[in-house]
Amino acid sequence: MSYDLMENNKVYLRGTITKEPEFSHEVFGEGFYELEMAVQRLSDHNDIIPITLSERLLDPKVFAVGNEVTISGQFRSYNKMVDEKSRLMLTVFVREVLENDYSVNPNIIELVGYLCKPPVYRTTPFKREICDLLLAVNRAYNKSDYLPCIAWGRNARFIKNANVGQKVFVSGRIQSREYQKKIDEEQSLTKTAYEISINRVSLNGSFDYNETNNGYNNLESENPVFDIADKN
């Protein structure tokens, strides 16, 4: 795999294992397992993030429920048939298990991708500005991951006019969000969405990955740092 394809999708997480590993699939005789990790925010809320790892990395003593684990890898998407419908699923693919380092923000992601849909800009009833993006991030073997992102405040205003196909650099954190899906007039189903909450965004140049590595506050800001190369 080329260096560029490793660098355009980087995730660092530290959290508590909340779900026993379950076998997912096999590729060329190598088994892969799915589990979940709770990553704490500054608030009491935890983001419950799905992760996938190879049997080569799956040490049952390390990945036991209740253990705190640090991993690095990539945020990936894949299609899965659910109730005879194809659904886009998201997971963090683990490449390395690391030592726990409490000086490092526990939830960091950096992506370089391309807008594959027009940005969707809106304001809430409380006048909070939000912009939804879908980034295509290249992967080896001519594959791409399609990753939903959300920008706030000044970042939302900046990115709302970006064009489809535009190359975008973002950093932030992976978040989980529960929502209600209505089944009929009387019933609804609680589901979980995963997305990247953008802290920094640039269209015309990259930024130092280590700059996002300096604590919680920047990644939890209500109006994240505005970082653009083109200020015209």
Query: Per-residue pLDDT tens for 42-73?
Result: 887 899 999 999 999 999 999 999 999 999 99
Same domain for 122 and 215?
yes
Which of 80, 101, 122 lies at the terminal end of a domain, its last residue?
A: 101
Specify if 227 maps to a domain. no
**Would 232 be classed as within a structural domain?**
no
* pLDDT top residue among 60 and 230: 60
**Of 207, 209, 199, which is closest to residue 41 (Cα–Cα)?**
199
Q: Is 40 within the bounds of a domain?
A: yes
Dist CA 156 CA 195 (whole Å): 15
Per-residue confidence (pLDDT) for residue 206, from 0 to 100: 58
28 in a domain, yes or no?
yes
Do 113 and 216 share a structural domain? yes
Q: Residue 5 — very low, low, confident or very high, per pLDDT cuts 50/70/90?
A: low
Final residue of a structural domain among 67, 101, 135: 101
Pair (16, 83) in one structural domain: yes
Which residue, 228, 214, 207, 226, is CA-closest to 110? 207
**CATH code for the domain in which residue 95 is found:** 2.40.50.140
Domain end point (choices 52, 69, 101): 101
Do 74 and 162 share a structural domain?
no
CB 219 within 8 A of CB 173: yes
Q: Is 141 exposed, middle or buried (0-12, 13-18, 19+ CB in 10 A)?
A: exposed
| pLDDT, tens only, 131-146 | 999 999 999 888 999 9
How many structural domains comprise the chain? 2
Work out whether the CA dihedral 142, 146, 147, 153 comes out positive or negative. positive
Q: What is the pTM of this model?
A: 0.84
10-27-23 Cα angle (round to 5): 85
pLDDT band of 227, cuts 50, 70, 90: very low
Query: What DSSP character marks residue 42?
Result: S
Q: Which domain holds residue 192?
A: 109-220
The residues, ordered by sequence, that sit 6+ positions from 225 with a Cβ below 8 Å of its Cβ are 199, 200, 218
The helix/strand/coil state of 191 is strand
Distance between CA atoms of residues 38 and 52, nearest Å: 14
Co-location of 25 and 72 in the same domain: yes
The span from the CA of 89 to the CA of 98, in Å, is: 25
The phi, psi pair for 23, rounded to 5°, reads -60, 135
* 77-111 confidence digits (pLDDT tens): 988 776 777 778 999 999 999 999 999 999 999 99
Rounded Cα distance between 68 and 73, Å, is 17
For the stretch 152-182, pLDDT in tens is 999 999 999 999 999 999 999 999 988 887 7
Looking at residue 87, what is its pLDDT? 79
Maximum CA pair distance of the chain?
A: 54
Cα separation of 45 and 138, whole Å? 31
